[in-house]
Structure 1
């Protein structure tokens, strides 16, 4: 059965509560997603490595009609989400809250932002460009990208975010409002409801923790 972030975050919340009760002062963010173990032999001894879930290679077109790939986020901490420009429900609040994070870290080369449009029919690069400008994005630190349905919905699965075309949903698309925090190794380190002020505040805190970890 495919898991999404909701399932993992329930486990993380329980682990965090146990961590707090332990009295340990040094905090480190969890690594979210499935994991596997792999054995290798080093100097005659068997070493067990943990292989964590990672965001795979990708390629999309941004608001400037330029190809954006996973390589553009190498050695960066970034926040990713899924939206569409004419969304009448959760997107306006989610994007305004993400803008607050962008404004704090504007021009910080360690931090980037990546918004994937799930409306592959309407959200062309020019539409995304206009949207970004109206939102208040003034540099290349925050990328707005589009692609074909298979690519966009496929990468959403890798971020463990639910997305779906649904004619009964507001605007014709159903999706979660998670802001997903990714480390330089392309691993998921946190996810926050972009419509919830408390969770957005936690994103600010956790982003600082992750930056100090690097």
Structure 2
């Protein structure tokens, strides 16, 4: 619980710092670490900022097909972490995320990615049944299964705390963030997936982010 609390405090600090650094209300901030990189171009010193980005990955989806970072190319996407037998926040999260799915259904520039942290039970067939119960069809909302190393290894990249914990209900501890990722794999927002007002803000921010790519 203490690690979860510290992770949350650190994440909120990043959100607050990014909000302060963002002066353009028509453009979302880029969250996470950033590093200045200096290069020489035509004899002049140029400094660019390199932002944290989601590294490439490989999982199996609910159709037992491999998905990687390339699956989400040319799309913004919302990522979260859950497990199908979750007795606490997951049903609320996915009821709310279903509203996002409905709003952007069939929009090729929008995808959803839910990672199961129950790497033993939540096989592709279990995730397929779960998706069908939600009324999900097609490949716009991907449900990812993987090894413990790959799933738990990717969650910090989204700044989301996940942990196996026999002392909590369901045996897994995780945060309920919805993470908004842009087409360059940068994190552009984080929202409490159990709060309808936060999810409404997520959809508003998704519209802002999509407008960045309008020609």
| Aligned CA distance change for structure 1 residues 13 and 201 (closer, same or farther; 3 Å) | farther
Give the aligned partner of residue 105 of structure 1.
Answer: 104
1:74 and 1:201 mapped to 2: Cα distance?
25
Cα root mean square deviation, aligned: 1.9
Give the aligned partner of residue 118 of structure 2.
Answer: 119
| Aligned CA distance change for structure 1 residues 7 and 185 (closer, same or farther; 3 Å) | same
| Aligned CA distance change for structure 1 residues 52 and 16 (closer, same or farther; 3 Å) | closer
Give the aligned partner of residue 131 of structure 1.
Answer: 130
User: How many equivalent pairs are there?
Assistant: 209
Give the aligned partner of residue 40 of structure 2.
Answer: 41
The runs of 4+ residues in structure 1 deviating greater than 6 Å are none
Superposed CA deviations along residues 65-120 of structure 1, whole A, max 9, x for unmatched, are 00000000011100000000000000000011001000000000000000000000
Give the aligned partner of residue 53 of structure 1.
Answer: 52
TM-score by length of 1: 0.92
Superposed CA deviations along residues 118-168 of structure 1, whole A, max 9, x for unmatched, are 000100010000000001111210000100001000000111100000001
Q: Contact between 1:8 and 1:32, CA under 8 Å: does it hold in 2?
A: no
| Aligned CA distance change for structure 1 residues 64 and 184 (closer, same or farther; 3 Å) | same
| Aligned CA distance change for structure 1 residues 5 and 160 (closer, same or farther; 3 Å) | farther
Gaps of 5+ in 2: none
Give the aligned partner of residue 10 of structure 2.
Answer: 7
- Structural mapping, 1:1-214, within 5 Å: 4=7, 6-13=9-16, 16=19, 26-214=25-213
